[in-house]
Chain A
Amino acid sequence: MQVFIERTQQRQELEFSGVAKDLLQELHIGTEEVLIIRNGTLVTEDETLETTDEIRLLSVISGG
């Protein structure tokens, strides 16, 4: 699974399949901090993700 974290501009390759909430927990990111884009589509933290997915985590926190 390819994960791109907008806030840190970090790209990671992970072995993960399961609920998006659990992915966020593994990455130490709170559900209030990001929107999850799965293969170009906005999904919620209840979404079940596959190992072949491309995930973008958009930062909710921006500005000053």
Chain B
Amino acid sequence: MKFAYFLLLVVVKMQCELCEQKAISTNPALCPEHFDTFFLNTVKKTIEEYDLCSVKTKICVAVSGGKDSLALLDVLTRLGYAVEGLFIHEGIAHYREASEADLDEFCEKNTIKVRKVSFEEEAGFTLDTAMETKKFHSCTLCGTLRRYLLNKYAKDYDVIATGHNLDDEAQTVLINLARGNTSLFLRQGVSTEASEHFVRKIKPFSFLSEKHILTYVVLRRIRVDFAECPYARQSYRAHLRDILNTVEQEHPGTKKNIITTYLDLKEHLSRAKSSETPIQTCTRCGQASGEKVCKACQLIAKVHEVLE
């Protein structure tokens, strides 16, 4: 009787929750067809619940050629949204080239227009060159310039969609808490507010994990490169990611709980703390800025100073 029960458990564990087909995912356990439906429905629900966009919205998808951005292009296209891509080449040798090739192949096959810009053209240096000076933190420099360029080149669009997923968002909540970044903590969300100076950003994958996204990409047979950014490997985020993955393995649902609790809490907290830095125009580049000279121009000037 115990053996039969054990056998039943094994069979049930591998079966789709919604039919008798074999499951190819866990949490939830779904067959390929039901997983595809789950994935699309989760994106649809996020878009509707957070009013992210409509079929009339001109969407600029921030693309890298990695699994998240290609999956995002694919899903949004399937759901009938008007998308174009914006690709930013940071100049990281032996990393960005492979994903750029995957992006080109995907966009050609699906007739999706992509604009490409680079750190080298815009700032006069690659990330690798700046990092050789050992004077800058890679993620700060890269993140600041990428956000700056996204905002600069997405002005003709209604929204910028990024492939940030549940793992990214749960990690960010914890990073900001752990580092005491209260104002950054309060600014996180499934979308940003529309404003005169900043193109609204949306994150349709906020409730889908990295594992869900890779599963989607594999099932859709989208070719992606698996390289990890060489600068990210030893980062604070990577450390926190590994801890969170260990906890999630033992306690499934942890990442989702972090982000849903955060979003609940944010509503309460944002009423209590509402100081906003007035936005002005950068005196150097004319882009939106919280200071007289924007963070991107400040960083670019510092890098050039060090390189000279």
Q: In the bound complex, do residue A59 and residue B25 qualify as a contact, i.e. CB atoms below 8 Å apart?
A: no
Interchain CA distance A37-B53 in the complex, whole Å: 35
On chain A, the residues within 8 Å of B248 by CB distance are 32
Given known A33-B245, A58-B218, A60-B210, contact A43–B229 (CB-CB < 8 A): no
Interchain CA distance A45-B211 in the complex, whole Å: 13
Residue-wise interface mask of A (22-64) relative to B, using a CB-CB cutoff of 8 A (1 in contact, 0 not): 0000000011110101000011111100000000001111111
Q: In the bound complex, do residue A63 and residue B10 qualify as a contact, i.e. CB atoms below 8 Å apart?
A: no
Q: In the bound complex, do residue A45 and residue B26 qualify as a contact, i.e. CB atoms below 8 Å apart?
A: yes
Q: In the bound complex, do residue A44 and residue B226 qualify as a contact, i.e. CB atoms below 8 Å apart?
A: no
- Interface residue? B14 (CB, 8 A): yes
Nearest neighbor of B143 in chain A, beta-carbon distance: A64
- Interface residue? A11 (CB, 8 A): no
CB distance from A51 to the nearest CB of B (A): 19
CB distance from A62 to the nearest CB of B (A): 5
Q: Out of B14, B142, B224, B246, name the residue touching A62 (CB < 8 Å).
A: B224
What is the size, in residues, of chain B's interface with A at 8 Å between Cβ atoms?
A: 34
Interchain CA distance A46-B32 in the complex, whole Å: 16
Q: In the bound complex, do residue A61 and residue B228 qualify as a contact, i.e. CB atoms below 8 Å apart?
A: yes
Interchain CA distance A42-B227 in the complex, whole Å: 20
Nearest neighbor of A6 in chain B, beta-carbon distance: B226
On chain A, the residues within 8 Å of B231 by CB distance are 64
On chain B, the residues within 8 Å of A46 by CB distance are 10, 13-14, 26
Tell me which of A47, A58, A64 has the highest count of chain B C-beta atoms within 10 A of its own C-beta: A64
B61-69, B108-116, B172-180: which one contacts chain A?
A: B61-69
Interchain CA distance A48-B299 in the complex, whole Å: 53
CB distance from B36 to the nearest CB of A (A): 13
Q: In the bound complex, do residue A62 and residue B226 qualify as a contact, i.e. CB atoms below 8 Å apart?
A: yes
Q: In the bound complex, do residue B24 and residue A42 qualify as a contact, i.e. CB atoms below 8 Å apart?
A: yes
- Interface residue? B249 (CB, 8 A): yes
Interchain CA distance A31-B272 in the complex, whole Å: 40
Residue-wise interface mask of B (201-229) relative to A, using a CB-CB cutoff of 8 A (1 in contact, 0 not): 00000000011001100110000111111
Given pairs A31-B26, A63-B64, A63-B66, 16 additional interface contacts (CB within 8 A): A7-B226, A7-B228, A30-B246, A35-B211, A35-B215, A44-B25, A44-B26, A46-B10, A59-B226, A60-B210, A62-B224, A63-B228, A63-B229, A64-B139, A64-B228, A64-B232
Interface residues of B (CB under 8 A from A): 10, 13-14, 23-26, 29, 32, 64, 66-68, 139, 142, 210-211, 214-215, 218-219, 224-229, 231-232, 241, 245-246, 248-249
